[in-house]
Structure 1
């Protein structure tokens, strides 16, 4: 899984057991050649990709560092050339009565889409490598490798969610789109609605067991949105607390990394 979430879209020359050794040899030792493959990208496009690789991927975020027209042009080129794809927000505009006066914060709030990289390698490159090219050219490879190690679990989190979505589609035989859901103050890693079927969930790629408070937060989000899901699913890299495992609720489904092995049977 780790190899997929770094090297998807990249042709490995050799086989490795350790992901960081692979990153060192295949990317850090060959960064100049790989960098030349991005030479046709404009500086604005590289700025867009760097921002998205490190942020929540919301559409308007780039307007904080680039003029709106330049940012929009960059988005259009990157989407047209298959570097980015748009994830449409499921949020709907707030219904309001005629002549209802909204709070200032509500008037300024806009629904926005998110963007995904078309392959995981692009996101890895613009998160860790492109912003540190000067350091690599100065011979600071070990420093950049340490930076990658420190930020790796956070980086993998998004890809972990995407693999979980693929697993759930197979497990529940879901034909509808499985994606994240974001609202002004509410987010779900996993959200799918198809007719009367509703599933929400969370994916946790961290080095400790998931406790019941994660489930409680999911339930609170559902209450705030006034939804009652058929299933609440949680994926954990490091297992679950005994309290969570002891719950007897058919709606709650707990999965660990080994469960994702089902995807390899395809």
Structure 2
């Protein structure tokens, strides 16, 4: 196999990946991009798990040499690849000073990039005591891997290093199969944000989070506001997802111009019966615009 990692910090777009891999169908491009986006591979067989085994597991030592980090840094990256990505989440497992040092190093190297929180700081009035649960609350930014492959590596390969080196590929592949849908859901969210930036000709569409709730998609400026949810499930989504989204808007005192839903496998008939002009529905085919 001939491969190379793209330069650290280089953004690898879906369009770049698709143009390099004409041998893949559209659906395959989405799956393969979620795993290999950021790794320059000449061609694929089209069988995702076969290619993971032959291109990644069997070449693990070569690939691992490109991620020359110590054990504690690798562990921190594994935690970020698995969890909510909040900046301070790894500090529950790693000492505060060491964790902050690792985060800064990875940001400087371009392995990670920062997604700034959109949560507004609450006003602290010295005349009144804050509620107990707010006294230690800190607004957190999130940390995002520079590309899909780097996240995949630390999520599934580095954490299974001992098994891979023993050649126990079936166990590793089973772990990947069991957790791939959850892993891919964030890749799907990122593509949704990229799509909406093109659709509305805006920048910095991202997720939103605060102490109480999270939104997969959030954008607000003086002229436009939209929020959304992104579901990467092997089933159609029903209208309760829209109802939950509207409830979140109320909690945030938002009146969005649009409520936006992305679903990998489409929508239930409930949406056909009660079409709303300010509700936009997109399935996987929407991302063809990005290719």
The reply to whether TM is greater than 0.5 is yes
Q: Could you tell me how far 1:51 is from its partner in structure 2?
A: 0.5
Match of 2:41?
12
| C-alpha distance in structure 2 between counterparts of 1:91 and 1:147, whole Å | 35
- The 1-side partners of 2:230 and 2:111 are apart by 25
Cα shift readout 1:217-265 (whole Å, capped 9, x = no counterpart): 100000111100000110101110101232221110000111211112x
- Identify the residue that residue 22 of structure 2 maps to in structure 1: none
Report 1:2-151 matches (<5 A).
2-39=31-68, 41-151=69-179
| 1:199 paired to 2:226 | yes
Structure 1 runs (4+) greater than 4 angstroms displaced: none
Match of 1:156 in 2: 184
Shift of 1:96: 4.2
- TM-score relative to the length of structure 2: 0.87
Q: Distance in 2 between matches of 1:34 and 1:262?
A: 32
Is the partner of 2:38 in helix, strand or coil? coil
* Corresponding residue of 1:168: 196
**SS of 1:185 mapped into structure 2:** coil
Q: Structure 1 unaligned runs (5+)? A: none
- 2:19 maps to what in 1? none
User: Alignment length, in residue pairs?
Assistant: 262
The two structures have a TM-score, normalised by structure 1, of 0.95
Runs of at least 5 residues in structure 2 that lack an aligned partner in the other structure: 1-29
Q: Is the 8 A contact 1:13 1:26 kept in 2?
A: no
How far is 1:16 from its partner? 2.1
* Partners of 1:232 and 1:130 in 2: CA distance: 39
